[in-house]
Amino acid sequence: MAFQPIVDLDRREIHAYEALVRGPNGESAGQVLERVTDDLLYRFDQACRVKAIEQASRLGIQESLSINFLPNAVYEPEACIQATLEASRRVGFPLDRLIFEVVESEQITDREHLHDIITAYRRMGFRVALDDFGTGYANLDLLTELTPDKLKLDRQLIKGCHRDTRRQALIDAMVVATRRLGITLIAEGVEEAGEARWLHQAGIRLQQGFFFARPAVDALAGDLEPAFAAVLDPPLRTGVSRCR
């Protein structure tokens, strides 16, 4: 299991960590999922949740923990959450710090079922995030149906946004829409200081990506202050002014 921080630029601190599945040889979550057959989805989903909570507790994570889940592996929300609840209680990880994030590669074949899952999780006090908005299955139609607590803009929309007025127009529209809907917006896949700086100026304080920290296997992020400074602190002017 790898952990990648989601930073809060306004506070210059880590807002949360996302737990990301990794294979024994560093394989990505997508590569691992390709080898999981349908009959093993439930066990895989449960094992990943428990592993994420156990490792987060062992690493001493004090921030919120975002855990990916597979909607098609949840046959009944109240029953399928029990292993997660037990793991949290066993290691002492507060339930109010858990965020459940819909896996981006998971095709949403039954939206009513996903709506029921999100409703049940919220009733239990959890927050829910919709990942990779702007590509794949995370679209406007799904957003209006589910209204998640958090929405993560996809890297394809973020890439080069500080140089692309078309991307800027779309992102600006999402900032306005999510504010009106009461949804917290997160920019993921941020890889350049220019991207981070423009996004922050556009009103997106929560960001995630290689620019801040790569996912670290069984470890937490190092010093993020240089990244914060590159985005938030104005550059020093060159040259020396003469005193008169």
CATH classification of the domain holding 146: 3.20.20.450
What contacts 133, CB < 8 A, 6 or more positions away?
139, 143, 151, 152, 153, 154, 157, 174
* Averaged pLDDT for residues 101-125: 80
Residue 149: C-alpha distances to residues 145, 155, 202, 240 (Å) = 13, 20, 20, 49
Among candidates 230, 159, 154, which has minimal Cα distance to 187?
154
In a domain, 234, yes or no: no
| pLDDT above 90 (res 165) | yes
In a domain, 232, yes or no: no
pLDDT for the residue 243: 44
In a domain, 61, yes or no: yes
| pLDDT above 80 (res 109) | no
pLDDT, tens digit, for every residue of 207-238? 999 999 999 988 888 899 999 999 999 775 55
Number of independent structural domains in the chain: 1
Amino acid at 54: E
Evaluate whether 224 touches 204 at the Cβ level (below 8 Å): no
pLDDT, tens digit, for every residue of 47-82? 999 999 999 999 999 999 999 988 888 888 888 899
In a domain, 242, yes or no: no
Separation between Cα atoms, residue 171 and residue 73, nearest integer Å: 32
pTM here is 0.90
Evaluate whether 20 touches 210 at the Cβ level (below 8 Å): no
In a domain, 173, yes or no: yes
pLDDT, tens digit, for every residue of 172-215? 999 999 999 999 999 999 999 999 999 999 999 999 999 999 99
Q: Which two tokens stand for residue 47?
A: 């094992």
In a domain, 69, yes or no: yes
Evaluate whether 84 touches 94 at the Cβ level (below 8 Å): no
* Averaged pLDDT for residues 127-139: 76
In a domain, 230, yes or no: no
In a domain, 16, yes or no: yes
- Kindly report the average pLDDT of the chain as a whole number: 89
Q: Which two tokens stand for residue 48?
A: 């990943």
Range of the domain at 203: 2-224
Separation between Cα atoms, residue 149 and residue 126, nearest integer Å: 10
Supply angle C-alpha 13, 1, 61, rounded to 5. 35
Backbone angles phi, psi at 25, to 5 degrees: -110, 25
Q: Tokens 């060159």 sit at which residue?
A: 238
Amino acid at 68: N
* Averaged pLDDT for residues 100-118: 77
